[in-house]
Amino acid sequence: MSLLDAAKAVRENAYAPYSQFKVGAALRATSGRIYSGCNVENVAYPEGTCAEAGAIAAMIASGDRRVAEVLVVANSPSPVPPCGGCRQKIAEFADEDVKVTLCTMDGRQRVMTVAELLPGRFDSSHMDRG
Ligand code: THU
């Protein structure tokens, strides 16, 4: 299954009664396995979780640790970008040159790298005071 097919399929299961904005995310780990996730909203709005977070949690729970490629899809007018928090979450498990494909449901795509999505990211070196 392609990342696009996986993301579109899981998007159908999104729980988005408040925003009505369903998002699907799929990632391929360096092992080759594909993981997917959808957004899961909550009546206490900040408790909702993004599609990317779900896909990452599924990967970690299954024992994989590194991301080789990511794709996100939603019914948006332009290719849907990961939110700021999800950019940091992706960067935790992906090298800077990893490809992130942003998609609409009607076939438009924009390809970016992790470095482009999150320039100047906070990483563990910032906690290293010698
Ligand atoms: N959403 C995601 O799942 N991923 C993103 O990167 C952008 C936003 C979800 C969160 C919320 O359920 C809905 O889209 C509207 O913000």
Q: In which order are the strands placed within the sheet that holds 34-38?
A: 34-38, 23-29, 67-74, 94-104, 109-113
Q: How many domains does the chain have?
A: 1
Q: Separation of 99 CA from ligand 1 center, angstroms?
A: 20
**CB-side exposure of 110: number of CA atoms within 13 Å?**
14
Output the DSSP codes for 8-40: HHHHTT-B-TTT---EEEEEEETTS-EEEEE-B
pLDDT in tens, the chain (130 residues): 899 999 999 999 999 999 999 999 999 999 999 999 999 999 999 999 999 999 999 999 999 999 999 999 999 999 999 999 999 999 999 999 999 999 999 999 999 999 999 998 888 899 998 7
Residues of the domain holding 99: 3-127
Report the catalytic residues.
52
Kindly list the protein residues whose Cβ atom lies closer than 6 A to any atom of ligand 1: 16, 19, 21, 23, 39, 41, 48, 50-52, 82-83, 86
> What CATH number has the domain bearing residue 85?
3.40.140.10
AA letter at 69 = E
Per-residue pLDDT, 130: 75
- Dig out the tokens for 35 from the structure: 């993981």
Q: Separation of 51 CA from ligand 1 center, angstroms?
A: 7
